[in-house]
A and B are shown apart, each in its own frame.
Chain A
Amino acid sequence: MSKSYQKNELDSIIKIDEQKCKGCDTCTAFCPADAIDGAYGAVHKIDSSRCLQCGQCLINCPFGAIDDTVDAVDLVMSKLKDGKTTVVATIAPAVRVALGEEFGMEPGKLVTEQMYGALKEAGFKIMDVNFAADNTIMEEGTELVHKIQKYVLGMDSHEELGPLPQFTSCCPAWVRYMELYSPTLRKHLSSAKSPQGMAGPVAKIYGASEIWKVAPESIFCVGIYPCTAKKMEASRPEFTAAADYWKKRGHTATYQDTDVVLTTRDLARLLKKLNIDITNVKPAEEKDNPLAEYTGAGTIFGATGGVMEAALRTAYFVLTGEELSQLKYEPVRGLKEVKKADVPIKLKNSGKEITLKVAVVHGTKNVEPLLEEVKDGKSPYHFIEVMNCPGGCVNGGGQPINPMGTSWTGKFKAFLPW
């Protein structure tokens, strides 16, 4: 076990292939945690105890020299074949706008129905992580509202609540960054689990008893994420809520809430092994599947500012008693490193007006100044969203690589002699 990991947690997911590394130093510029050692020109190496497992180095390596070493594709295929297992695919928002790229479609093509169709053909039951994202907003948003009522409005609360500002906890690389580099501030993280953390218990408790009507032990929950750090998050020893729930009700088995994680790239590889091509698969809508119902708020979780926008849509309603007249909230959208916004809120009972101050950060390195403010007790914010990958999960470390030339060598291949 490497330092900075708990027992049984996956470490060293991302590795540099010594044979292929040219020492070009591109990766160190993309690493949010200074976890890559190696001088310019020398073979580079990842220090797993510092690494966030985010995979940004992997998707940006111009030589394809960095690998994701945790491969569950064959295991999932054997579970699909064995006939006794209910294999549930839980699919994250950002997968549906990138999976097409692995099958020759243009980046950003929305392929939800084709993806459902392909997964059903492969033998999966479907649960959409967008449902769990809505679930996250209900939990994380309610937590935020309670904190505002306690700390801003001075209302009584018997709940155990963390301090403000509240940071989002959806991004496993960011959570690991906080736990590793600013552990004294970890109470500021929302206690709500990430959508992956919620999807597992929902599938193995509600899904098992109400939707698929099978024994919870027979469910094999496959998380499909645009993310390599989700592989690490799924292995957290705390994430056994479903098994703990059933143990109190006479069951004995122990298992993780999400059994294995596939990245978008892994899923494409699995579908290709099964000869399923999403460009000519029968699309499926999943209208009758409650666990595939989701709202627009759930789906924008995959982009920077999306969790904030989704949370505001619900928090505004809870605090003011009215729906937002304009749902699209521009100030938190776009690729600026740190986005800040003031949201005026007129409280529903007292009519009192407060200003909700929020910030959105992507690229974990950009969060340091905000953490400093919190450390000094000077942070003006109530709620801060952090996503590790630039642009959010759509550009996650598990997404298809280099759809249109992030790799600079690709551009010169046409006239290079080798």
Chain B
Amino acid sequence: MQYDYKEKEVKINRREFLGFIGVLTAAIWSGLYAVTDVFVDRTKYIKMRTAGLYQDDEKQAARQSHKNKSLMNMYKSLNFSPTSPLAEELFHTHYIDRSVL
């Protein structure tokens, strides 16, 4: 009996093979990276800084802006009040249309 088994011809060339491996590697790596999201909280430093500010809030004797005595003294000593004409001049502004500049 004659042995007539013939191996299937490879339909993929070297370049395609490398491309395929490249894509596969990228997929595996980005998959692995995505999995780290489960363990690593990438917003942790934001939460820690925010906690620092809330800690500062709770430390203060006064926690509402209208209880800032020095601020109220400033309004008194320059003889004006919020949204008065002098306040408009110093503390208010207007906005421009930047799409036409």
**A residues neighboring B (CB under 8 Å):** 3-6, 93-94, 96-98, 106-110, 112, 131, 133-139, 141-143, 146, 159, 169, 175-176, 178-181, 183, 186-187, 189, 191-193, 197-198, 201-202, 205-206, 210, 238-239, 241-242, 244-245, 290-291, 293-300, 302-304, 306, 310, 313-314, 317-318, 323, 327, 333, 335, 390-392, 394-395, 399, 403-406, 408, 411
Contact = CB atoms under 8 A, between A and B. Distances in A.
B32 to A, nearest CB: 10
Chain B interface size range: 35 or more
A135 B58 contact: no
B53 A405 contact: no
A293 B68 contact: yes
A391 B49 CA distance: 10
B2 interface: no
Interface in B39-79: 40, 42-60, 62-71, 73-75, 77-78
Contact of A314 (B33, B53, B65): B65
B19 interface: no
Nearest to A101: B45
A303 B54 CA distance: 9
B35 to A, nearest CB: 13
B92 interface: yes
B53 A3 contact: no
A79 B66 CA distance: 35
Given A5-B101, A97-B53, A176-B98, A295 B65 contact: yes
Nearest to A404: B45
A109 B53 CA distance: 9
26 contacts: A97-B49, A108-B49, A110-B56, A134-B65, A138-B65, A138-B66, A138-B82, A139-B82, A141-B82, A180-B99, A183-B98, A186-B96, A198-B91, A206-B78, A245-B89, A293-B69, A295-B63, A295-B68, A297-B57, A298-B65, A299-B60, A303-B53, A306-B53, A390-B46, A404-B44, A411-B40
A405 B40 contact: yes
A183 B77 CA distance: 38
Contacts of B42: 405-406
A392 B45 contact: no
A179 B59 CA distance: 37
A333 B53 CA distance: 12
Contacts of A175: 95
A39 B60 CA distance: 50
Contacts of A405: 40, 42
